[in-house]
Chains A and B, each alone.
Chain A
Amino acid sequence: MSSLFSTRGGWIILLPVLPLLVAGVLTIQATNASDQPGRLADETVKQIAYGAAGIGCMILIVTIGYLRIGRFSYILFGISILVLACLVIDRWFDLPFVPVKRNTRRWLQVGGLQVQPSEMMKVAYVLGLAWYLRYRSNYRTLLGLVPPFMLALVPMGLIKLQPDLGTLLLFLPVLFVVLYAAGAKGKHLAAVIVMGLLCSPLFWTKIEPYQQLRITSVMLQNRAVRDYLSKPMPSRPDLPTRWEYFRPKEFSQSRWMLELANWENVTGYQLTRSKIALGSGGLFGQGSGRGVFVQYDFLPERHNDFIFAMIGHQWGIIGGVLTLLCYGLIVVFGYEIAVLTREPFGRLVAVGLTTMLAFQAITNICMAIGLGPVTGVPLPFVSAGGSSLVINFMALGLIISVARDRPLLFTNRPFEFETEEEED
């Protein structure tokens, strides 16, 4: 294995990325060009262009080297925070370059392009976190965990105000994995997780009603659960249904009952359709560019957030498992690069970015198959979307750069708290 990661070995991480990119482009072309055969759809052209731009950025980053970029980690983090803050400021002062879509502020208008600052934030956050953690030893104490958590909570707070729940929740697993990998005490992290879980009811009350609905959708997709919730509770005869417990105060009682009764056509609409698209793919799928869901627009956002359903629809369970395998390989290669790197900043960057990609993929796939709430997190390298594609390739560039540019200076293993390991 280690021979692969000699000077040029980092490029191998592109091996699982290319099939994902191809699958994405094929699906985007199939779903957008059904009425103009033989021509590339505009969305396809855009995706290819963004892919090329992303690869260009990746090569640029590899050329520059992650260490040189790493010096500007805090500055990048600060800039990203400022840009995110712009979106928040727009709530009170209307800024011309912030478009409002469906009552959310997630994009910046730069010329003809729309960029998503929260995508940039993900990478800047990993860099900032890794830069903070590279030599420190005080995160071994509980109090020492406060600065890294602040690094996560500030962007999370800003993203909460956009609002973009899916992106927001990506920061926590990255934080925990990076902290754990860096050597934070397991019991400290466990204590924080327990505290977080205890605070989660508070978090529940602070999110929008539609976000609550999306979270409850995970259990509501089961008809038995819906039937159970729609029955009155024996101990509380004043409530018409058990479902009443979940009612946000913004919703009237009748609206809430309708929501449950009509779940498949309202909140559960996309999920229901997504499961049909996947399920009708079967073992081998309907074939590339074929199938009911490719020809007809039955699934909203099918080329975007729900592209995994289209992969399963076209290429069956084989396509789905291969997609999973690709992400698995990205994780394996990314972590392998981290393991082989002795330089603490580099290896934390590799771990953080790999985890970021992996959790995006898991969040998106779980959403499409009904194991997680519906969020706007795209499937990395597959979903149509410029910002996400370019940023993901930049993340790849950083990981490759870690593999190529690790300083030979560190021939010994860096200082580690081997002695306290047993306590974890």
Chain B
Amino acid sequence: MFERRLRLIMVLMVMPVIAVTARLVQLQILEGEEYASKAEALLIKPMRLYPCLRGEIVDSEGVRLAYDAESWDICVHYGILSEAEDHLRAMARERLGRRGIPRTADNVAEEMHKLGIEINESWHAIARLTGRQVEELDAVRERRLRQVQRIKEVVTRRRKIDTVVDEERTVHPIVQGLNHQMCVEAKVQLAEYPWVEVLVSHTRRYEGGDAMGHLYGMLNEVGPDDLRENSNNAHILSRYLLGDLIGRTGLERLGEQWLRGRRGCEQEDLRGVPTTQPVAPVDGNTMRLSLNLRLQQYCYHRLQAAVREHPPSTGGAAVILDVPTRRVLALVSYPAFDPNLPDTERAKLAAQDPFGQPHVFRAVHQPYPPGSTIKAMVLPSALTEGKVGPGTTYDCVGHLFPGLPNKWQCDARRAHGTVDPVLAVQKSCNVFFYHVGENMGLANLVKWMDRFGFGRVTGIGLIEDATGTLPQLRRDMGAGPARLAAIGQGEVSATPLQLANMMATVASGVWKPVTIWPDNPDQSLQGYALPIPAANWRLVREGLYKVVNEQGGTAYGPLRAKLAGEEEFVLLGKTGSAEAPALERLYRCRFPDGTEKTIKARTFRELRNRYPEGQKPEYISQEDAQVYPTHGWFVGYLTTRGHYLEPAIDGELNVAIAVIVEYAGHGGAVAAPVARDMLQAMITLHRGGTIETAPADDSTVRSAAAVTDAAGEGERP
């Protein structure tokens, strides 16, 4: 029985042998090929990526404005940043293996301890070398870890799998922007720490100084949101990876896809055999602007001088457009900042200068009340609608209603008398346009404002491009809002760029989208001709001509907009003095101890913030602190002297301009000379001359301010 039972057990034990053999046949013969390729795949090392250069930005003359300058980064491997025990253990084992020491648990533990000390030393070495605090480096380290963790979270959520992301296998920059000398020092001093690498990198440099401050916009590292919305996440070479830069605002955002380029790659396995064809990086394209840097700089400094001349002016903006193509030739906003300012510093700008608000890109982002400049479009609209004829006249007594001199005013000092359309534009007669507004009605006016580009984007493509506002239509409004809208006050507002484009529309009879980058592939907006007969245009242009070039015009005179000694070209334009909200108000407030005081402040919240908790005052009432000067506007365009009544579409130097100087007073006295100087510089450039691009020194500013406004003809909006 014993023998028989043993035989039976032996037979039973044959079963697992058969099972094992069958399994071996399955694994090694039937699926052998598949597993062999999997074994090969284990050998492949992570792909090495090579960065490309971001494209340059150049101006219309090819002057380099923005470019990637070579610099170096000190990078540390993620395993060291995270101090992951697995990584440290693997490193310790590898080091032991290289020295031929057995990898027992004790040896590994000891080596890990040594490694920890060396890592600590390496942080101190980096800090010493770059003159930073270890705590600073620690903060950077924490930030990198957080970034990778967030990416990991995003990827995990998307794939529903806890995966190792590429960023966990690579080095991350800790100190960026080293120059060549520091790079050499770093390479020598950090050579003993294999986890620290000094890698070549690039720093974005911007030329042109403050004049170009707002235009470039912000460029910073991609975040998890960008990675999630990767538009071209199909390929690793073109998708965003951590550490990549992405344009957030301004030109860098506008040209993001054009400027980005495509990274290169190389992949090999552990034996050093390349596994794919290496791909060379492709640098980004050059973005050629229509902007002229010299003109831009001149305009900036001229505007700066004008703002400084007229306290309490807080800033200004100027736009010069080429009328036939609507290319931007200058786009200036003052005050500005150095475009090479780091993001952290930029964030402080608003707090540093609460009145100037240097971070605001006024030329395209700040809607202002257009004031009388809007009359340049109200008149042709009204003529076309038939609400006013070429011979229509209204009597101006200085105000609209007899016996109510303080309401619906025109010129406070003097009545215009009998006013026809041309005279109304020349002298900027409010009473005439009150009637025009009343005749047209608000709905009609808004329709025409829309046709002239108000309340819409200009098509320049910048994220900052603001639409401005149009008056809202309400029931039972009466004539008031329409009258206000006809003189550019009330709810209507527009950016300087919109007004420049309005002027270009008046000059050519055609509305077109504005562009600053002629190669922009996104050309979705279409231009159109306005349905206004040529005779109506001529009438308006006649008025605009007289504003600048005839006695009695609001911008007439050598100190205003008259071009000195100019035979070939003639300037047409319109001034505006837009009433603006007060910068500061007087707040009547009660303190907790019972006292009442009147304090001047920008906002009540700002006032309360001045006092510690428990002593904060309560609001009682408020009033204007002082009567602020109006915003000074000048909009106009340059055309050939002989044919100024005809559409300016093929002239050599058809440019439209819009200039605003905030809180500076009368447009004709303040903004018109600025515009004239800019256009004269433009003409000089056109004729091959040179212009001053450095800031005008203070003496010239003061002398200009000393000259009183002799030829000024007072104007109230």
Nearest opposing residue in chain A for B8, CB measure: A180
Q: Is the CB of B43 within 8 A of A296?
A: yes
Q: How far is the CA of A317 from the CA of B23 in the complex (A)?
A: 10
Q: Is the CB of B28 within 8 A of A258?
A: no
Q: Is the CB of B162 within 8 A of A258?
A: yes
Q: Is the CB of A292 within 8 A of B43?
A: yes
- Which of B33-41, B197-205, B352-360, B416-424 is the contact stretch? B33-41
**A365 touches which of B2, B6, B20, B25 (Cβ 8 Å):** B20
Q: Is the CB of A370 within 8 A of B29?
A: no
Nearest opposing residue in chain B for A420, CB measure: B1
Q: Is B100 at the interface (CB under 8 A from chain A)?
A: yes
Chain A residues positioned under 8 Å from B98 (CB to CB): 35
Q: Is the CB of B6 within 8 A of A279?
A: no
Nearest opposing residue in chain B for A413, CB measure: B2
Taking chain A's interface residues, is the majority helix, strand, or loop, or is none over half, making it mixed?
helix
Q: Is B273 at the interface (CB under 8 A from chain A)?
A: no
Known: A42-B102, A296-B270. A279 touches B32 (CB 8 A): yes
Q: Is the CB of A279 within 8 A of B42?
A: no
Q: Is A338 at the interface (CB under 8 A from chain B)?
A: yes
Q: Is B192 at the interface (CB under 8 A from chain A)?
A: no
Chain B residues positioned under 8 Å from A277 (CB to CB): 39
Q: Is the CB of A321 within 8 A of B21?
A: yes
Known: A181-B5, A338-B6. A317 touches B25 (CB 8 A): yes
Give the distance to chain B from A345, nearest Cβ to Cβ, in Å.
Answer: 13
- Which of A6-14, A69-77, A85-93, A327-335 is the contact stretch? A327-335
Q: How far is the CA of A421 from the CA of B32 in the complex (A)?
A: 48
Q: Is A250 at the interface (CB under 8 A from chain B)?
A: no
Nearest opposing residue in chain A for B161, CB measure: A261
Q: Is B24 at the interface (CB under 8 A from chain A)?
A: yes
Q: How far is the CA of A272 from the CA of B245 in the complex (A)?
A: 39
Chain B residues positioned under 8 Å from A410 (CB to CB): none
Q: Is the CB of A320 within 8 A of B161?
A: no
Q: Is the CB of B161 within 8 A of A258?
A: yes
Q: Is B627 at the interface (CB under 8 A from chain A)?
A: no
Q: Is B188 at the interface (CB under 8 A from chain A)?
A: no
Give the distance to chain B from A365, nearest Cβ to Cβ, in Å.
Answer: 6
Q: Is the CB of A279 within 8 A of B1?
A: no
Q: How far is the CA of A236 from the CA of B222 in the complex (A)?
A: 43
- Which of A54-62, A160-168, A280-288, A397-405 is the contact stretch? A280-288
Max count, chain B CB within 10 A of own CB: residue among A280, A321, A418: A280
Chain B residues positioned under 8 Å from A417 (CB to CB): 1
Q: How far is the CA of A369 from the CA of B17 in the complex (A)?
A: 12
Nearest opposing residue in chain A for B100, CB measure: A36
Max count, chain A CB within 10 A of own CB: residue among B27, B40, B163: B27
Q: Is B476 at the interface (CB under 8 A from chain A)?
A: no
How many B residues, CB 8 Å from partner?
40
Q: How far is the CA of A365 from the CA of B23 in the complex (A)?
A: 11
Q: How far is the CA of A320 from the CA of B161 in the complex (A)?
A: 35
Q: Is the CB of A262 within 8 A of B162?
A: yes
Q: Is A316 at the interface (CB under 8 A from chain B)?
A: yes
Known: A362-B16, A370-B23, A371-B19. A317 touches B2 (CB 8 A): no
Contact digits for B68-103, partner A, Cβ 8 Å, 1 yes 0 no: 000000000000000000000000000001101010
Contact digits for A360-393, partner B, Cβ 8 Å, 1 yes 0 no: 0010011001110000000000000000000000
Chain A residues positioned under 8 Å from B23 (CB to CB): 369-371
Q: How far is the CA of A280 from the CA of B34 in the complex (A)?
A: 8
Q: Is the CB of A276 within 8 A of B1?
A: no
Q: How far is the CA of A132 from the CA of B252 in the complex (A)?
A: 88
Q: Is B13 at the interface (CB under 8 A from chain A)?
A: yes
Chain B residues positioned under 8 Å from A370 (CB to CB): 23
Q: Is the CB of A335 within 8 A of B42?
A: no
Chain B residues positioned under 8 Å from A328 (CB to CB): 17
Chain B residues positioned under 8 Å from A365 (CB to CB): 20
Q: Is the CB of B17 within 8 A of A317?
A: no
Query: CB within 8 Å of B: which of A299-339?
Result: 312, 316-317, 320-321, 324, 328, 331-332, 335, 338-339
Q: Is the CB of B28 within 8 A of A366?
A: no
Contact digits for B34-54, partner A, Cβ 8 Å, 1 yes 0 no: 111011101100000000000
**B10 touches which of A262, A317, A335 (Cβ 8 Å):** A335
Q: How far is the CA of A177 from the CA of B97 in the complex (A)?
A: 46
Q: How far is the CA of A281 from the CA of B29 in the complex (A)?
A: 9
Contact digits for A43-54, partner B, Cβ 8 Å, 1 yes 0 no: 000000000000
**A335 touches which of B6, B24, B35, B100 (Cβ 8 Å):** B6
Chain B residues positioned under 8 Å from A358 (CB to CB): 13
**A275 touches which of B4, B27, B102 (Cβ 8 Å):** B27
Q: Is A293 at the interface (CB under 8 A from chain B)?
A: yes
Q: Is A298 at the interface (CB under 8 A from chain B)?
A: yes
Q: How far is the CA of A361 from the CA of B59 in the complex (A)?
A: 78
Q: Is the CB of A283 within 8 A of B161?
A: no
Chain A residues positioned under 8 Å from B97 (CB to CB): 35
Q: Is B9 at the interface (CB under 8 A from chain A)?
A: yes
Give the distance to chain A from B612, nearest Cβ to Cβ, in Å.
Answer: 47
Q: Is A20 at the interface (CB under 8 A from chain B)?
A: no
Give the distance to chain B from A20, nearest Cβ to Cβ, in Å.
Answer: 15
Q: Is the CB of B39 within 8 A of A416?
A: no
Q: Is the CB of B20 within 8 A of A324?
A: yes
Chain A residues positioned under 8 Å from B16 (CB to CB): 362, 366
Chain A residues positioned under 8 Å from B34 (CB to CB): 279
Chain A residues positioned under 8 Å from B158 (CB to CB): none
Q: Is the CB of A180 within 8 A of B9?
A: yes
Q: Is B474 at the interface (CB under 8 A from chain A)?
A: no
Q: How far is the CA of A417 from the CA of B36 in the complex (A)?
A: 56
Q: Is A183 at the interface (CB under 8 A from chain B)?
A: yes
**A321 touches which of B24, B102, B270 (Cβ 8 Å):** B24
**B28 touches which of A36, A281, A362, A416 (Cβ 8 Å):** A281
Chain B residues positioned under 8 Å from A362 (CB to CB): 13, 16, 20
Q: Is A406 at the interface (CB under 8 A from chain B)?
A: no
**A276 touches which of B17, B21, B39, B163 (Cβ 8 Å):** B39
27 A/B residue pairs, CB under 8 Å, sorted by A: A35-B100, A42-B102, A181-B9, A183-B2, A262-B161, A262-B162, A275-B27, A276-B38, A278-B24, A278-B28, A279-B32, A279-B39, A280-B35, A281-B28, A282-B32, A292-B40, A296-B42, A296-B43, A317-B28, A320-B20, A321-B21, A324-B20, A338-B2, A339-B3, A355-B9, A365-B20, A371-B19
- Other A-B pairs beyond A101-B105, A292-B43, A296-B270, 11, CB < 8 Å: A183-B5, A258-B162, A262-B161, A278-B28, A279-B27, A312-B24, A335-B6, A339-B3, A362-B16, A369-B20, A369-B27
